[in-house]
Structure 1
Amino acid sequence: MEDIPSYVAATFIAIVIAVLGFLYYAISAATPGKKSITPSLVITLIVGWIFFICVQTFNGYFTNLSGFPRLPLMVCFTLAAIAILFVWPRTRAILMEMPITTLHYIHIVRVPVEMVLWWLAVSRAIPMDMTFEGSNLDIISGISAPFAAVFMVGAQSKSRIGAIIWNVIALALLINIVNMAVGYMPYYYTPTGGQSANLGVFYFPYVLLPTVIVPTIFFSHLVSLYQLIFKKDQLQF
């Protein structure tokens, strides 16, 4: 990992900060009021989770490949937390009020994420098949996100069916790259034919891709679809 240029890590850290900014704005809009501590509380919890993941990374917890798959286990914890948000009525009500345009604009970060993946592949930290030069088409979601935000859920132009279709397709592209990423992890894959294993995500700061960035993107799709399907009145922009 020493051969990866420093600007790659800097770019990725900027992506993490941008994602936190999108989340803070969306939660703030869903919980208006000067006395609401919900946005700060949520971001504090996420930052705490990031700190925990980083500490475990520096301690070599994830690079110890013996025993159970440790990194996928951390991802399962985040998915369980997301599931709880949809089960608990109080948080479900907040999800319903999150501005749907913000939930679409957040997917713009998928473009720089794909650039980071390509840089990692060039440095042989991940397989090239996980980039837009291979079988990963997720960059399409990032490029099309602003158009979906403006023309499908925008304040002046709306298409509920179009937004549902876009979210389903973009979610499928996300699942595709996640499936590849898991398949190329050293738990399950032995490099052959010059193809690298997916090792980059076991190190800081790229460990935050499967543990923070991807779950947040997944969460944004779920909340958007939840609103588009079940919110019959005017959507919150």
Structure 2
Amino acid sequence: MNDLPIYISLTFFACVLTSFGFIYYAILTAAGPKSNIPLFAITFMAVWIFVTSLMTINGFFQDYEAMPPRLIMMVLILVIFIISLFLIPATRNFLNQMPITTLTYIHIIRVPVEIVLWWLFINGVVAESMTFEGVNFDILSGISAPFAGLFLVGLKSKSNIAAIIWNLLALGLLVNIVARAILATPYFYDPAVYEQPNIAVFYFPYVLLPLFVVPAVLFSHLVSLYQLIFLKEPEED
């Protein structure tokens, strides 16, 4: 992993920072200037990134024999945390205030993320099926995100039904690649199915793909769908 070209990690760092910025802006907009929620949120995200990065650098996730699988358990913790936000009335009301356009434009980062995955495949640390040359079509979500932001949830044009369909389709593409990524990890790797195990995500900085970028994208989809289905007019920028 140390001999990977530097431009790959730099591009991925840019994806992480962009995801961070989108989520923080959505929280800041929902909370308002006098609230302490944005400070709490940015601190929580920064600490999470720092701690999981430090754990990765120290080799915590590279013990593939540990049970339960360490990386998967960390992902499950994040998923449970995200779902729990919708179960608490106070946080649910806060999520309703987030600007849906911001939560839609964040998906643009899925384009450079897919390019990073392709570069990682070229360098032999992820399987071809994990890329757009294989069966990963998640790049379509990133390409279509600007159009969804402008014409489905934007100020000039809105269509709740179309926005719901777009979010569901994009969420389906996300679930597809996440499921394949899990099956390609050393935990479940089958050489008859995958030509190369998915080991990149067990190393820094790429561990932040399952432990930050993907959860940020999932969070954005879930909040958007909640607003589109349960609110008459989702919040705008």
Aligned in 2, Cα 1:7/1:63: closer, same or farther, shift over 3 Å? same
Q: Which runs of 4+ in 1 moved over 6 A?
A: none
Return the TM-score normalized by structure 1. 0.96
Q: Report how far residue 58 of structure 1 moved.
A: 1.1
| 1:36 and 2:69 are equivalent in the alignment | no
1:98 aligned partner: 98
> What is the percent sequence identity of the aligned residues?
53
Query: 1:32 Cα deviation (Å)?
Result: 1.2
Question: In 2, distance between residues paired with 1:105 and 1:58?
Answer: 31
CA contact (8 A) 1:107 1:141 kept: yes
Change (3 A) 1:3 1:234: closer
**Is 2:158 aligned against 1:153?**
no
In the aligned structure 1, how far is the partner of 2:234 from the partner of 2:202? Answer: 43
Q: Look up the match of 1:199.
A: 199
Query: How many residue pairs are counted as aligned between the two chains?
Result: 236
Matching of residues 179-198 of structure 1 within 5 Å? 179-191=179-191, 195-198=195-198
Report the CA distance between 1:89 and its aligned residue: 1.3
Say which SS state the counterpart of residue 223 (structure 1) adopts: helix
Bigger mean CA offset, 139-148 vs 55-64: 55-64
**Equivalent-residue separation in structure 1 for 2:4 and 2:13 (angstroms):** 14
Q: Give the 5 Å matches for 1:11-30.
A: 11-30=11-30
TM-score by length of 2: 0.96
Q: Which runs of 5+ in 2 are unaligned?
A: none
Residue 230 of structure 2 corresponds to which residue in structure 1?
230
2:224 and 2:210 mapped to 1: Cα distance?
20
| Residue equivalent to 1:211 | 211
Counterpart residue type for residue 96 of structure 1: N
State the alpha-carbon separation in 2 of the partners of residues 48 and 132 from structure 1. 32
Q: Which residue of 2 aligns with 1:117?
A: 117
Give the structure 1 partner of residue 137 of structure 2.
137
Cα distance change, pair 5–232 in 1 and its aligned pair in 2 (3 A): same
**Is 1:3 paired with 2:3?**
yes
